[in-house]
Every structure is written in structure tokens, then in C-alpha cells.
A and B are shown apart, each in its own frame.
Chain A
Amino acid sequence: MNKLVLIAGGSTLVYACLAWMMAVLPGVELSKVPAGPGVQPLTALQSEGREVYVANGCSYCHTQQVRPLNEDKVFGRPSAEGDFTYQTPELLGSERTGPDLTNIGMRQPSSVWQYIHLYNPRAVVSESIMPSFNWMFDVIHQAPAGVTSVPLPKGYAPAHGVVVPSHEAQALIAYLASLKQPPVSEAEAASGDQAMADMASPTTRTSAPASANLAPPVGGYDAAKGAALFTANCSACHQASGEGLPGAFPSLKGDAVVNNDDATKHIHVVLNGLHDAKVGGVVYGSAMPPFAGSLSDVEVADIIDYERSSWGNHGKPVIAAQVTAERGKAK
């Protein structure tokens, strides 16, 4: 057993054979997977943004894979092989010190929010631990024609001048906006759910029945649930105070739609989102995402009721049935 050839050659051979088995066999299986429906290669600017993402180590904190587990549902549907067809090197990531970004283009489509957040994350998410990337921005005296400055809230803006994103920042935000999970077909969704049930542990299965199956609470809404849902889905822009950010995201406090007893428009906005909203004479360029796909009727009703009963608002509460009706109209 003292032969160099045996040790060096033998161990390498063993290793190589086994590694090939673990690499080539799954590789063959995976190479047969076509790009998922709607999965597109990146544009030039988006690829540049992907390089900025890599260079600055974004993937050390942000994953781009959604596992078929309950706790990952907030980030999107479970990732499928076809989602990654055009990605080299892969950015699935190994740690989440920040949220998963697989579907961030859908979850937070507002580039205004992304710029404010990139410049100083705490301007929009007060508890954020993400570093500030303000060196990706230029502070200049006056924004040149055609360039919109970043509407930073007071306390975060520099004392003099305006903040405009550099090319690097623009590419990065374009890349983030491209991160959208294309919807899967009904059949695939069903098989995905099945796979999820197979992979999930018994605890997942027992905790699976979502609030959607429960009857709407009689005599009022679930205030704690409403607050939690608002925090998870709305407060990034509208802020915990409901006051939004002046010039960037409209205030819900004292807002006409929120306080109108006819809640139709309020429900419509939460379900379908909003573009170029004109609120209180100000036009907001940043779009609000639709929530019809990610929230159940009961959840939408809980959020709306929370908004209608907080920060001094006094709109008439809604029930899930109204949301169901409004959702039906959209179809």
C-alpha cells in the first residue's frame, strides 16, 4: 500500500469517477430542460446590471431561489429549472441576510423606491441592515434635462444639490426590474403544488390550510393580521406611519380614497395596482404593484380595513365578499 501510483492515481480516479457521476448525470438531466415559458435572456443594460450585482457581492446576502416551503412563499412561487436557463454564473445564493430577489421586479416594481433604497435603505425601511450604496449616485447642483433626481426624504438627502443615479446604479436597477417570475401554466402550478406537498415535512402539511379557507371574522377584522400584512406588503412605500414619502409615495393618512365609504376604488387599487397616480394634485411616477396574484380576498380585506382604521382614518370597513366581487369584475 506504499505505492505512489496507487495513492495518487487511485484516489484521483475514485474521486473523478464519483464526481462525474454527481456532476454529469444530473447535468444531462438538467440540460434537457428548456427555458421556462416567458424566461428571456437579459438585455445589454440588464446584463451590465447583473455584473454590478456580482461585483458588489449582492448575492452574499440575497438569494435568487425560492424553495417549495411555506416560509419562502412571500418571495414567489417555487423556482423551476427553466427559470435559470440564461444564467452564468448562477446566483442562487447561499445566505439570506436580505430577502430573496427572484421576483423583486414584480414585488417592488417602483424604480423610484429602488433608487431611494439603494441610496440609503433606511430611508424607506427603517430597520434595514443593508449598506448604503450612495457611492453609486452623483450629487449635482441641478438635474440635467431628461434626468429625474431621486426624491429622497428629508434627513436622508444631502444638504445641497440633488441626487442622480450613476450609469452603474441605473444598470443595477434595470437588472432588478428584470427579475420577475413568469407565471407558470395552471397544470404546472398544480404539479408544483404537488411537488411541494411531497417535499414538505409533516409540519408543513398540517399548517398548510391558509387563511383563505377561513370564514371572514364576524363583527370586525383581524387587526393583528391586518397590521402584519400591511408591514409585509405595503409599508416599504407607504411607511408604517401611513404617510408615505413626500414626492415619492402617496400618503394613506387622510387620503380621499381610503376614507371614502364606497370602497370600490380602494379595493380596485390594491388588487390591480396603479400607474401615474394623481393624489392630492401630485402625480406619482412610481407604479404600485398589483396584489391580486399574491394575496387572498380575506388578506386584501384585512389590509384595507387596517388602512381604513389606522392613522386617524375612518373609512367604512370592507369584507372579503366585496373583494371577491371586485376581483370577479376584473376577469
Chain B
Amino acid sequence: MSTVATTVFDDGRASPTSATAAGGLFDRDLILKFMAAGAFWLVFAPTVGAIVAIKFNYYDFLGHVSWLSWGRLRPVHVMGVVFGGFSTTVIGLTYFIVPRLCGVPMYKPQWGYSIFWGWNIALVAGFVSLMLGYNSGIEAGEFPLWVSIPVEIVLCMVAIQVLVTIKRRTEPRLYVSLWYMAAAYIWTALNYAFGHFILPYSMPGVNNAAMHGLYIHYVVGLWITPIGLAVAYYFLPLAAKRPLYSHKLSLVGFWALAFFYPFVGTHHYIYSPIPYWTQTIAIVASMMLIIPVWTVVQNFYGTFVGGWKNFQESYAAKFIVIGALYYLLGCFQGSTEALREMQRLTHFTDFVIGHSHLTVFGTFVIWATAGMYWVTPRLARRELYSKGLAQWHYWLTVAGFSVMAGDLTLQGMMQGTMLQAGTDFVESMVAMKPYWIIRSLAGIVMDVGAALGFWNLYMTIRHGKLIEMPAAVPVDYLPEPKWS
């Protein structure tokens, strides 16, 4: 059995012994602020999602007002989950993970607060702009210029902080999370600029579509996946209280991701006028993505096997495990979806929406949530406010989300089959109506779960039972709260 020496400073060592920074390695207050903001966006954006879902069946629900219309709210939902809920949380976790793995405080720690406010104000401005109809027209890159510029500046600032901190580290070895983080910030600073400053304004025609395919998949492959994996790889051994199953495997996963992801974007445009050979390469690469996915799943479950007791006692562990399961399902779904015959069946249907939820929410938002559960009570130095609320959060998320993902997947295949059989388009839409009701209900269940969970974390910060601290508390001391 492979148990390569652990370099994540868990059992025994909270951080490299060389850490001597007077002010501590990380800024508890700043990270908690990020967690609270992330929690807010993670309730806000899915709620917008529930509203747009309800509009499929009740066309006049919040209708008749331009800024609450379906087409204006839809990008608020997508950008809200990707850049609001998920990104705010993982940027906050970056300020925890990077110094702890490097053994030195973050480079230019005072930037943290400007970044926090700049980022969140930009998000608010972005959502208001989209609701007012300022949309750049690039799906998943809809923010107009006055929002994209501050967002890009923030991404570059964090990228500089992360890279310089890694450069100045005292811990000689680089844990895999740092690999993913360094790459995610560099890649995304480039990709975000590409999608927001170049695509909406230049490159006409099918070229624009080919590039858009790359951009939209790079948001997933260059940002959500690597930064999400960085978070999950960091909190997995901590939550499981076991060393990582295999470091080699995690590095195979990293390089496989870097080699195969650049090709896959064009699979959004199978059967389009984009050159046939490009589509074929995209399909092959999509299948190859099973390799990095498999390494992650093997590594995660390998770490947990034999240590399920800790799994029962930690909500961080529970969310990581369920996220890994959805990752396996979602990525197999995504790979097979790229095949021409599957694409013909499912493209343009809600199957695609099911896939994006399974990966973005089911995997990465859930992993970010796991990080939140681990970090929040420890930094607040309080016990989790309520175990019951955490339990509800977990099970409502699992129940609601499983129903939603299954429902969307099935209805997409059903609609595809109907259209292939020659059913009139409108008729195929009418047949989807009951499934949309199920989707809305499942989404509302998830939202309620999220609201309870994040309320729980907020109350933990404010009113959780204070944990007794040792007499002389070291700056970076992390207590061991129950259930987190």
C-alpha cells in the first residue's frame, strides 16, 4: 500500500516549524470576512437560480420588469455561483492555505483588505450591470468592462501574492495544493483577460465561437478545477486526519490536467462549422480527462479508506467525500457527452445544464464548502454553533442536488430522443414541463440547505461557544472544534 510521506502539515504540525512571523502566518479576521462574504454569495446566487428555474413554469413570476426578466437574471446566476460564491470562498481559503504550506506570511498582507472590498464591490457592480442589461455577450464572461477591470486587477494581485509567497517559502517541499494554486492564478489571470477584453470586441465569426469554446471551458479547467482541487487536496488529509494516499498520483493528475484540458473547449461546438479535425481532437481530449479525474478520486477515497470514523465526525470530511463522488459522476458524464453520438442526443438540451451543475456545484462548490466548515470554527476559535443545522445543510444539499442532477440528465436525454424521432420542437418543450417543476423544487431544497448551513457558520463566528484556549496562546493556534 502506498503511503508516501506526508508533507501536508497536519498531524502534529500545524505549519512548518520555521514559522516565526511575529504577526502570525495568516490573518484570521480577513479570512473570516471572506468566508462570510462567500457564504452570502453562495446563498444569493443559487436563490437567483431558483427564480430563473421557476420562470420556466410560471412565465409571469417576477415578470414584466426588465431587470428581473429571465434573460437578465440567468447570467447573474451563473456568474454569481462561479465568481461570487465559489471564487470568493476559495480566494479567502488561499489566504489560509498558502502561508500555512509555505511557512511564511502572505506577501504584502495589507493588500488583503483592499482585495476583499475591491472584489466584492466589483461583484455587486457586476450583478447590477447585468440586471440593467450591460452584458458583453460572451457566456460565462458577461461582465462589462468596468467590472472586468477591477476583477482582473484583483486576480493579478492575488497571483503576485501567491507566487512571491511560494518563492519566499521556508518549507522546501511543495505540497500539491500549491502546484494547483500557482497554476490556477496564472492561468486565470490570462484567461479572464482573454475572455473579457478580447473576445467581446474582436475576432469575428466562427473564430469567435472557437475561442469562446476555449474560454468558457478554461473558466472550468483553468480556474474552478485547479483551485477547487487545491482546496480539496489541502483539507482532505486534515479532515480525514490521515496522510494523503499518494503524492505521485496527485502529480500525475496535475500534469494530465495541463496536457489534456487545453484541447477540450471546442467540444461545445460539435457539428458546428468549426473545422472537423479540431472537434475530433476535442473529443479525444475529453475522453482523456478521465485520467486526471480518476487520479483524484482514487487518491481521495484511498485516503479515507480505513479512517471512516473521522469521516463521521467532520462535516468538512463529509462534504469532501460527497464532492468526490459527484466529481466522478460529473466527469464521466462530461467525457461521454463529448462523443458525437452523445452530443447529438444531448446538446442544446438540459442534459448540459445537468452536467454543469454536477461539476461546478456538486463538486467544486461542495469542496469549497468543506473548506469553509474546516476553517471557520477554528479561526473563530468557537465550537460549531449547531450540529443539527450542519446535518440539515448536508442532507438537504445531497438530497436536493441528487434529484436535480438526475432530473436534468434524464430530461435532456428524453428531449434529445424526442427530437431525433421527429417530434415538433414546441411539443418537446411541453413534455419537459413536469421535469422543470422537479428541478425547481430540488433547487429550492438545496437553497434552504445552503441558507441553514451558512447561517450556522455565521452564527458560529458570532455566537458559537468559545473554546477554552491554552494559557499562552500562540498566534496561529488552531483549536479542535467538534464536527468541523
Contacts and interface: CB of A to CB of B under 8 A. Distances in A.
Contact of A67 (B222, B271, B282): B271
A87 interface: yes
Contacts of B57: 129
User: Among A27, A74, A83, which residue has the most Cβ atoms of chain B within 10 A?
Assistant: A27
Contacts of B199: 89
B275 A132 contact: no
Contacts of A99: 425
Nearest to A122: B59
Find the residue from B63, B178, B209, B269 having the highest chain A CB count within 10 A. Answer: B209
Chain B contact patch, size range: 35 or more
B429 A97 contact: yes
Given A8-B182, A131-B70, A85 B271 contact: no
B204 A88 contact: yes
Smallest CB-CB A-B distances: 4 pairs: A57-B71, A18-B262, A55-B133, A84-B205
A201 interface: yes
Contact of B59 (A70, A93, A129, A232): A129
Contact of A7 (B74, B174, B207): B174
Nearest to B138: A89
B278 A63 contact: no
A193 interface: no
A93 B216 CA distance: 12
Report which residue of A8, A88, A91 has the largest number of chain B beta carbons within 10 angstroms of its beta carbon. Answer: A8
B66 A135 contact: yes
Contacts of B426: 125, 127-128, 231
Interface stretch (B149-157, B416-424, B441-449): B416-424
A212 to B, nearest CB: 15
B107 to A, nearest CB: 13
Contacts of A125: 426
B218 to A, nearest CB: 8
B473 to A, nearest CB: 32
B340 interface: yes
Interface in B193-223: 199-212, 214, 218, 222
Interface in A19-53: 19, 21-23, 25-27, 29-31, 33
A33 B63 CA distance: 43
B212 A90 contact: yes
Interface stretch (B345-353, B361-369, B458-466): B345-353
A231 B424 contact: yes
Interface of A: 1-2, 4, 7-8, 11-12, 14-15, 18-19, 21-23, 25-27, 29-31, 33, 54-61, 63, 65, 67-71, 74, 79-81, 83-97, 99, 121-122, 125, 127-136, 199, 201, 203, 228, 231-232
B262 A60 contact: no
Contacts of A2: 172-174
A237 to B, nearest CB: 14
B456 to A, nearest CB: 34
B273 A131 contact: no
B295 interface: no
Given A26-B207, A96-B348, A96-B349, 11 more contacts: A11-B183, A22-B262, A22-B281, A59-B139, A69-B344, A84-B273, A87-B204, A88-B200, A94-B268, A95-B352, A231-B424
Contacts of A89: 136-138, 199-200, 208, 212
Interface in B266-301: 266, 268-269, 271-276, 278, 281-282
Contacts of A22: 214, 262-263, 265-266, 278, 281-282
Contact of A90 (B205, B222, B251): B205
Nearest to A73: B422
Contact of A27 (B64, B135, B207, B350): B207
B interface, over-half SS: helix
B179 interface: yes
A231 B428 CA distance: 13
Most buried by A among B174, B204, B211, B352: B204
Contact of A18 (B200, B206, B259, B353): B259
A102 to B, nearest CB: 12
18 contacts: A4-B167, A12-B187, A15-B222, A31-B207, A55-B135, A57-B75, A85-B205, A89-B136, A89-B199, A90-B212, A93-B348, A94-B268, A95-B349, A130-B59, A131-B71, A135-B65, A135-B69, A228-B424
A199 B272 CA distance: 11
B161 to A, nearest CB: 13
A273 to B, nearest CB: 22
B75 to A, nearest CB: 6
Given A74-B425, A127-B426, A201-B341, A87 B266 contact: no
Interface in B43-58: 55-57
A42 B282 CA distance: 33
A83 B274 CA distance: 12
Nearest to B172: A2
A127 B430 contact: yes
B196 to A, nearest CB: 11
Contacts of B204: 84-88
B207 A30 contact: yes
B74 A57 contact: yes
A71 B272 contact: no
B186 interface: yes
Contacts of B255: 11, 14
B134 interface: yes
B163 interface: yes
A220 to B, nearest CB: 22
B227 to A, nearest CB: 14
A272 B481 CA distance: 78
A4 B183 CA distance: 10
A289 to B, nearest CB: 17
Nearest to A8: B182
A199 B71 contact: no
A87 B205 contact: yes
Given A81-B273, A86-B205, A54 B341 contact: no
B4 interface: no
B212 A127 contact: no
B21 interface: no
A40 to B, nearest CB: 14
A15 B209 contact: no
Interface string B156-199: 00000001001100001110001100110011001000000001
A67 to B, nearest CB: 4
A18 B263 contact: yes
A87 B282 CA distance: 24
Given A30-B275, A131-B63, A135-B64, A56 B69 contact: yes
A57 B211 contact: no
Contacts of B261: 15
A127 B430 CA distance: 7
B72 A57 contact: yes
A81 B179 CA distance: 40
